Chains A and B, each alone.
Chain A
């Protein structure tokens, strides 16, 4: 059974978003890392990349699978989690503790398109 944290926003493609003021942290859910198995590579976006809600901004690879990362929100990348370059397995160890990138959110109204923890739990069952 995978973990779902309260207080985060979730997308149907299994990304989470944690909002802090005008910024948001994006990661993949515990359910997603379970599905993938051992993560061997994270294709990170670059700082200043413009992300659009629902559009691809990177990918997570395991030995026999690859999953595109779809941005839960529109915004501009202000920081990436460089630790994932050398230690992609951090996503397996703690999917919620290791964000992938930090964005400056450009349109807060898009949050209404995302799920809360309760709704997300339901789709993981």
Chain B
């Protein structure tokens, strides 16, 4: 019948005999006639493997992969060959949730390693088994803050947080009944004075800021945690985990919760997914963390082993009283970034940032030198920076796209501004080519 179905005619006849019915149709006899589907689907005919391949190729030919100078939440970092090979191992790929720990030590162990490494990078004390993406991790951080505060229902979010994360946080807030207010920005960073005023009413459950922020700026959060804590509010930092190898970490800023997207840890751009969110916290908040968490323990023979733990927080036990509805994690992608962090290690992740920093500042200086660009804000940045251009931004981007470049992403709310990103993958030659094309514009 089909290569994925092993049943022969005689198998089917024999099996139907055991069940005591005479046809496959009899297995559906209870479905009321009015709702049966007895037509054929209006879909394409079965394709052979080569036909599937040819079809995908034809679709792929309608895409134009570009040399990326864009970030904004999706970064073109180097992806070691090892990772793709290892995560394709069927023992990882085709397993499900590690509900039977005796035969799932592989999954459980790498999640434990993932949690350990994310804690190292963010400076936090505990971490869950991963979230869907950075934006939903931020939304879950908001829910945690509200659940922790019990009687407070307001969360304030800096306007400098990635706009896509804000959009998802807003959706969750509206339906969950959380009052969400924006802390305005001042010169490209969170306006601390306004934040202090907003906290003064003592009704805020959590304050969320980000580093680097939506303009690529590394914000200075000196005093933020103390102010938040003085008003019994949680301090939440949305942070790029790759950058945390060199920048001051959420833990060092005094955060209670850290969250963000792990895509920057060597994951392919993948047209936006799958990526992997992370959510980490202080030890005090461990029972408020949503989702799966792996812990170390021993088996009856005293052998070290790993197991899903603190499950009484989760939906399959707490149902409507669970602190989140999340059931799965982004497990294979957590493995992806775990292997990445192992390969790059203590030294490599620093080098990634060192070279990204150098490339970004090199590009920035060259753009400023054309006389057609100026920095939106003169603040410290790592690999991303926002510039205003005297050229027509959208025309410029289109022209450069035709030449094979993704020349940044538009900064929302400012029609002349562009956010550029340079990772360690961009060569000096690529940057020089980009800049010389720009020099020919307008």
Interface residues of A (CB under 8 A from B): 40-41, 43, 61-66, 68
Contacts and interface: CB of A to CB of B under 8 A. Distances in A.
B317 A41 contact: no
B186 interface: no
B330 interface: no
Contacts of A65: 312, 317
14 contacts: A40-B312, A41-B312, A43-B287, A61-B312, A62-B312, A63-B312, A64-B317, A65-B312, A65-B317, A66-B312, A66-B313, A66-B317, A66-B318, A68-B321
Given A41-B312, A43-B287, 10 more contacts: A41-B287, A61-B312, A62-B312, A63-B311, A63-B312, A65-B312, A65-B317, A66-B312, A66-B313, A66-B317
A92 to B, nearest CB: 15
* A-side interface mostly: strand
A63 B309 CA distance: 8
A64 B321 contact: no
Contacts of A66: 312-313, 317-318, 321
Contacts of B318: 66
A59 to B, nearest CB: 8
Interface in B282-323: 287, 311-313, 317-318, 321
A88 to B, nearest CB: 12
A62 B311 CA distance: 9
**Size band of the B side of the interface?**
under 10
A62 B318 CA distance: 12
Nearest to A43: B287
A66 B313 CA distance: 8
B177 to A, nearest CB: 18
Contacts of A41: 287, 312
Among B287, B311, B313, find the residue whose CB has the most chain A CB atoms closer than 10 A.
B311
Contacts of B317: 64-66
A77 B73 CA distance: 47
Contacts of A43: 287
A41 to B, nearest CB: 7
A62 B317 CA distance: 11
Contacts of A63: 311-312
Contacts of B287: 41, 43
B182 to A, nearest CB: 31
A68 B312 CA distance: 11
A63 B318 CA distance: 12
Nearest to B314: A66
A87 to B, nearest CB: 17
Interface in B313-337: 313, 317-318, 321
A64 B308 CA distance: 11
Contacts of A64: 311-312, 317
Among A41, A62, A64, A66, find the residue whose CB has the most chain B CB atoms closer than 10 A.
A66
A41 B287 CA distance: 10
Which 9 A/B pairs are nearest by Cβ-Cβ distance?
A: A61-B312, A66-B312, A66-B317, A66-B318, A65-B317, A65-B312, A64-B311, A64-B317, A41-B287
Among B287, B312, B313, find the residue whose CB has the most chain A CB atoms closer than 10 A.
B312
A43 B321 CA distance: 14
Interface in B376-415: none
Contacts of A62: 312
A12 to B, nearest CB: 19
A106 to B, nearest CB: 19
A104 to B, nearest CB: 20
A43 B318 CA distance: 14
Interface in B122-151: none
Contacts of B311: 63-64
